[in-house]
Amino acid sequence: MSKSEHKRILLKFSGESVAGNDEHGIDPKILDQMASSVKACKDLGTQIGIVIGGGNLFRGEKLNKAGMDRVAGDHMGMLATVMNGIALRDALERAGIKTRVMSAISMSGIVEHYDRRRAIQLLNDNFVVIFTAGTGNPFFTTDTAGCLRAIETESDLMLKATRVDGVYDSDPETNKDAKLYTELRFDEAIAKNLKVMDATALTLARDHKLPIKVFNVNKPNALKNIILGENIGTLIS
């Protein structure tokens, strides 16, 4: 059997990816597909942490523009990520994968409170650990939370799952001539404002030498093939 190139990874799913073709809600078929992809990587011996967004259930931006307090909106968004995490845990456990959900905000009786040492122990014990509620603080994106948890758990690589094949010089969904980057330096991604993730997340990853791979989650076996060392998507380092 082929062997994984990475001992431990952090996988970042957007909330929108959980919704499938719908703009809102949770698509059980998509969750099952995610679980199948994760299982294929687990079978190669890779330890996996997951950060998931909440944009499929709640987006605070519109309410913020309508006058809602930004902090209140961000707290509601954190709760949405916990709901997605619980749904993904269910799909993973049905696929036979030992899973724990950890939240950056305390939710006793529902999910575990985030503890770095406990998370690393669970990863070493072959659990998939889903990190929810972002960083636990307003004003920080789940991309930043993904970089933070990857660094804290000493992951080899952060994988950002998207709807396109990697990072482009412009939006490939509106510009058919957009150029795909296969490799990028952090400073270049920040300077060009390429919108792959926010500057806070990119700066954090750069400062802690955490490589980031951006790939198309809808491509068959993409996640497994990256773990096996194939040159897929865009590598930011």
Q: Long-range pairs for 141-145 at CB < 8 Å and ≥24 separation?
A: 141/197, 141/198, 141/200, 141/201, 142/12, 142/14, 142/15, 142/51, 142/52, 142/53, 142/54, 142/81, 143/12, 143/197, 143/198, 143/201, 144/197, 144/198, 144/200, 144/201, 144/204, 145/51, 145/104
CA distance 102 to 48: 14
Instruction: Kindly report the length of the chain.
Output: 237
The pLDDT of residue 173 is above 90 = no
The pLDDT of residue 232 is above 60 = yes
Whole-number pLDDT of residue 56: 92
pLDDT in tens, 72-95: 999 999 999 999 999 999 999 999
Lowest mean pLDDT among 3-7, 20-24, 46-50, 218-222: 20-24
Q: Say if strands 99-103 and 212-216 run parallel, antiparallel, or are unpaired.
A: unpaired
Chain-centre distance of CA 12, in angstroms?
1
8-164: CATH number: 3.40.1160.10
Query: Where along the chain do its domains lie?
Result: 8-164
CA distance 132 to 50: 9
Whole-number pLDDT of residue 63: 80
Q: Which residues pair with 50 in a beta bridge?
A: 11, 130
The pLDDT of residue 1 is above 60 = no
3-state secondary structure 111-131: CEECCHHHHHHHHHCCCEEEE
The pLDDT of residue 233 is above 70 = yes
Q: Token pair 């996640």 is at which residue?
A: 223
Lowest mean pLDDT among 17-21, 42-46, 111-115, 165-169: 17-21
Confidence of residue 105 (pLDDT cuts 50, 70, 90): very high
What does pLDDT average to over the chain?
94
pLDDT in tens, 20-77: 777 789 999 999 999 999 999 999 999 999 999 999 999 877 788 888 999 999 999 9
Overall average pLDDT of the 208-234 stretch: 94
